[in-house]
Amino acid sequence: MNSTTIGQLIFDKIDALARISENPDNLTRLSLSPEHQRANALVGEWMQQAGMQIRTDAVGNIIGRCEGSEPGPALMLGSHLDTVRDGGRYDGMLGVVVPIVCMQVLHSRGETLRYPVEIVGFSDEEGVRFPSTLHGSKAIAGTLDADTLQDTDADGISIAEALVSFGQDPQQLHSAKRQPDEFFGFVELHIEQGPVLEKENLPIGVVSAIAGASRYQISVTGKAGHAGTVPMNLRQDALTGASECIVAIEAICGSLSDVVGTVGQIKAAPGAGNVIPGAVELSLDLRSSEDATRKHAEQQILSTFDAVAERRGLTITTHCRHQASSVTCDEQLCSQLATAIQTSGYRPLTLSSGAGHDAMAIAALTPMAMLFVRCKDGLSHHPDESMTREDAAAAADVLLNFLRQINAGT
Ligand code: HGY
Ligand code: MN
Ligand code: MN
């Protein structure tokens, strides 16, 4: 199979997955949804065609396994199959499809690796449906707290209830946990979601580290009232208070280097144009490659909330729903990936990740590393997310080099 064919094979699979959405007008596939079920079924078929045995674990991860010619620890590959709302088709899916196509190429050539390979389509990495995130990879790493299964989505459905509808038993959460001696490493291939590779005119790079992240749910409570009769100086307006908090988040993060803060969700109640908002719910997403810097930003933001609450006669409560420390990628795997990139004829660039990935959870189980693939304008979490067939084929070429290198023990 030449690189054009491989690039097309990858794109055909990516496009087929992109047609599985809760919404005909955009790509939205949330975890443990009927769409997720359909995506797992399609990916499972492809894994079987590539000579893999498949299973779905207790938290909805789809797992393909191909035994090696020798017994021993496996290499885990994979990424997530859930998307953000109105998202792009490569974020996550590329890191499941490219390894499957690589296994398909080896299978078609009758090439058997010495070591077993597992490919995982992780069930919830985006954390869009539920307030917490990385459920699939954390369950495999054994770090998913059983209490998290009580988290509920906007319709009040808990993860546990969603797992039952998905055909799983939440009581079996522990059975998803894998043992460290089952693997010698995890490599996740993912679009860069940033501008560096494009600027360096490279299709692929090695990730050095993944930024840490905190996610908060914030409630601002004031007093609803008549929009026409309450004088401005007597109001306890939850929405103007929340707005002051949002602008403060932007100012604090903007004043610190290497921190990004985002309020992506906001909901005001009762939500009538002629009623002063009495309650507001908002999200806060904070990232930094340095955990101490992220903590410092958090302190500053939370004390600003106290001052706003005091001055405006509001109650502001914060609930941390997710914390992930920044993680450094495994040196040996990174160097092997850099060699694989050189074998494909590219300069091996190393770059860090501002986005979170399943690899940061799997790091608790086994050494992990990541390959980033160029995407247009670095755009992601957007329907215009795009990349080229040539870069997809380059990614497969590098991953095949890596698989063969490991096989040769180099
Ligand atoms: O939000 C992130 O960093 C990832 O795309 N879930
Ligand atoms: Mn992703
Ligand atoms: Mn994403």
pLDDT, tens only, 201-223 = 999 999 999 999 999 999 999 99
Whether the full predicted model's pTM is greater than 0.85, yes or no, is yes
Nearest CA to ligand 1 atom 4: 356
Task: Say if residue 230's pLDDT is above 90.
Answer: yes
Which bound ligand lies closest to the C-alpha atom of 92? 2
The two counts, helices (H) then strands (E), for the chain are: 11, 16
Q: Which of 29, 84, 260 maximizes ligand 1 atoms within 8 Å of its Cβ, making it the mutation to test the pocket?
A: 84
Query: What is the per-residue pLDDT for 318?
Result: 98
272-277: Cβ within 8 A, 24+ apart: 273/227, 274/226, 274/227, 274/228, 275/224, 275/225, 275/226, 275/227, 276/222, 276/223, 276/224, 276/225, 276/226, 276/227, 276/230, 276/235, 276/236, 276/237, 277/222, 277/224, 277/237, 277/238, 277/239
Look up tokens 């002051």; give the residue: 244
Distance 408 CA to ligand 3 centre (A): 34
Summary mean pLDDT of the chain: 97
Q: How confident is the model at residue 395 (pLDDT cuts 50, 70, 90)?
A: very high
Query: Which of 31, 82, 125, 379 maximizes ligand 1 atoms within 8 Å of its Cβ, making it the mutation to test the pocket?
Result: 125
Give the pLDDT of residue 197. 98
pLDDT the model gives residue 409: 86
Name the residue of 188, 289, 381, 382 to mutate for ligand 1: max ligand atoms within 8 A of Cβ: 381
Question: pLDDT, tens digit, for every residue of 164-187?
Answer: 999 999 999 999 999 999 999 999
Q: What is the C-alpha separation between 15 and 401, in angstroms, rounded?
A: 25
Q: Atom of ligand 1 at shortest distance to CA of 354?
A: 3
pLDDT tops 80 at residue 344: yes
Q: How crowded is residue 345: how many other Cβ atoms within 10 Å of its Cβ?
A: 9
Element (H, E) at 42: helix 34-49
> d(Cα 370, Cα 334) in Å, to the nearest integer?
8
Residue 231 CA from chain centroid, whole number? 46
Structure confidence by residue, pLDDT tens digits, 6-32 = 999 999 999 999 999 999 999 999 999
pLDDT tens string 364-385: 999 999 999 999 999 999 999 9
Please check the confidence at residue 251 and state whether its pLDDT lies above 80: yes
Q: pLDDT of 291-307, one tens digit each?
A: 999 999 999 999 999 99
Q: Which protein residues are within 6 Å of ligand 1, measured from CB? A: 125-126, 355-356
Q: Separation of 311 CA from ligand 1 center, angstroms? A: 35
Tokens standing for residue 2: 């030449």
Instruction: Give the side-chain half-sphere CA count within 13 A for 366.
Output: 22
127 Cα nearest atom in ligand 1 = 6
Tens-digit pLDDT profile for residues 62-119:
999 999 999 999 999 999 999 999 999 999 999 999 999 999 999 999 999 999 999 9
DSSP alpha helix (H) spans, 126-274: 135-141, 159-165, 196-199, 238-255
Q: Stretch 260-265: mean pLDDT, rounded?
A: 97
Closest C-alpha to ligand 1, atom 6: 126
Ligand 1 mean position, distance from CA 210 (Å) = 11
Beta strands at 349-353 and 204-210: parallel, antiparallel or unpaired: parallel
Give the distance (Å) from ligand 3 centre to CA of residue 197: 18
Mutate to test the pocket of ligand 1, among 357, 370, 375, 385 (most ligand atoms within 8 A of CB): 357
Are residues 163 and 169 in contact, defined by beta-carbon separation less than 8 angstroms? yes
Q: What would the pLDDT profile of 113-172 be if each residue is shown by its tens digit? A: 999 999 999 999 999 999 999 999 999 999 999 999 999 999 999 999 999 999 999 999
Atom from ligand 1 closest to the CA of residue 80: 6
Quickly state the pLDDT bin for 266 (edges 50, 70, 90).
Answer: very high
Distance 94 CA to ligand 3 centre (A): 12
Which pLDDT belongs to residue 234?
A: 97
Task: Return the ligand number nearest the Cα of 88.
Answer: 3
Say whether pLDDT at 334 is over 80. yes
Residue 410, pLDDT > 80, answer no
CA of 357 from ligand 2 middle (Å) equals 6
pLDDT for the residue numbered 257: 87
Cis preceding-peptide flag for 270 (omega within 30 of 0): yes
Pairing between β-strand 183-191 and β-strand 275-276 as defined by DSSP bridges: unpaired
